[in-house]
Amino acid sequence: MNAAEQSVAAKRLAAEHGFPLSGIALVAEDGLSPGSDAYAKWLGAGHHGPLDYMHYTREKRVNLRARFEWARSVLAVAAFYDAEERGTPGIDLEPHVARYARGRDYHRVFAKRLKLLEEALRNAGVCSRTWHYTDTGPLLERAWAEAAGLGWVGKNACLIHPRLGSFMLLAEIVMDSTPAPDKPEPFHCGTCTRCLDACPTHAFTAPGVLDARKCLVTWNIEEQGRTPPEYWEKQGAWAAGCDICQTVCPFNAPSRVASPDLELAQKLPWQEMSLADAITLTPDRFDQAFTASALRRTTLKGLRLGAITAAGNVKSQTCVAALRECLRDPDEDIRVRAQWALEQFGTTRPCPSGTAPGSSSSTS
């Protein structure tokens, strides 16, 4: 099997194993990953913020051969998630959750597919050694996907396909062979700045450069709801994640968005949950409703904090009772956030100094 045949076979097998979008990039002789210089500058500027793992895995991220000296190519693959609007804001939880986190946990779904795909690649003679990643490993996913021709990294720092948009999830298989590589996609953003202008926290320091310290996703998912107070109002309707920089993108117009992966789009119990229910969520209910959900990453407390913040910002009348119940919660963070949320309605006085939220003087 020559290089061209290896490339065709790899992409055919990727499609057969649930990845409709795929491409190949070769590993440089020195092992340096595409985008390694930009990543080093990003870290040097402190843009990773509280995401310390981005720093201490730097060597492995910028040089693929730091871990795999046999690495010669990367098969980058992608599948699309459900991008439809769901539910009623202020009543249902679902419209307050970023689209990529709504369906089944893609880490689990992809891990099963990637193991089978690796075996198929080896059996077909495309390669003899492999290793897969999906989101959690030390690898510059978007840079490799861009190098493999899956799209370009836009001004919103997301990978964008010219015909299918950016509502996609990425994964990679490192291989020890050198199939024919794909051509990178040109940059198509042009003069458009919709994503930069729409970001409520102004998290982009330059086109394509995201300061994670200002990104809502950093706080309401990665940091489990520990959003700094100065961003509570700016968090808007988002309980978990944020889709703003993608939904305003012209390449995500309804006529362009790809059909979702059916397994990723399977409904989960929590999608029937109200925003008020999320605010007073119990450990047992969290375990039952979020068993197969990527939202487990937020933790129970993080999801409650996010739901409280969203309810206050949209002034959800259906959540008032739940917010007032939180004023008696044993967790101080929950009490403080609920007090703040109620104050957004304009009907609740701030707690006097030294008065615990939940006392008679802290409610209207």
With 0-12 CB in 10 A as exposed, 13-18 as middle and 19+ as buried, what is 357?
A: buried
Distances (CA, A) of 349 to 325, 329, 361: 16, 18, 8
Amino acid at the residue 338: A
- Transcribe 334-359 into DSSP letters: HHHHHHHHHHTTT-SPPPPTTPPTTS
* Distance of alpha carbon 132 from alpha carbon 150, whole angstroms: 17
- Give catalytic status of residue 331 as yes or no: no
C-alpha dihedral, 10 to 165 to 112 to 59, nearest 10°:
80
Q: What angle do CA 220, 293, 115 make, to 5 degrees?
A: 115
Residue with structure tokens 């959540």? 319
Six-digit token pair at 330?
């044993």
Six-digit token pair at 44?
């040097």
**Shortest CA distance to 162 belongs to which of 99, 281, 250?**
250
* 121, 127 Cβ separation under 8 angstroms: yes
Identify the three-state secondary structure at position 218: helix
Annotated catalytic residue within 92, 135, 176, 277: 135
* Distance of alpha carbon 322 from alpha carbon 67, whole angstroms: 49
DSSP annotation of 97 reads: B
Strands 204-206 and 168-175: unpaired
Six-digit token pair at 310?
């969203």
Q: What angle do CA 144, 147, 153 make, to 5 degrees?
A: 80
Identify the three-state secondary structure at position 22: strand
> Would you please indicate which residues are annotated as catalytic (active-site) residues?
135
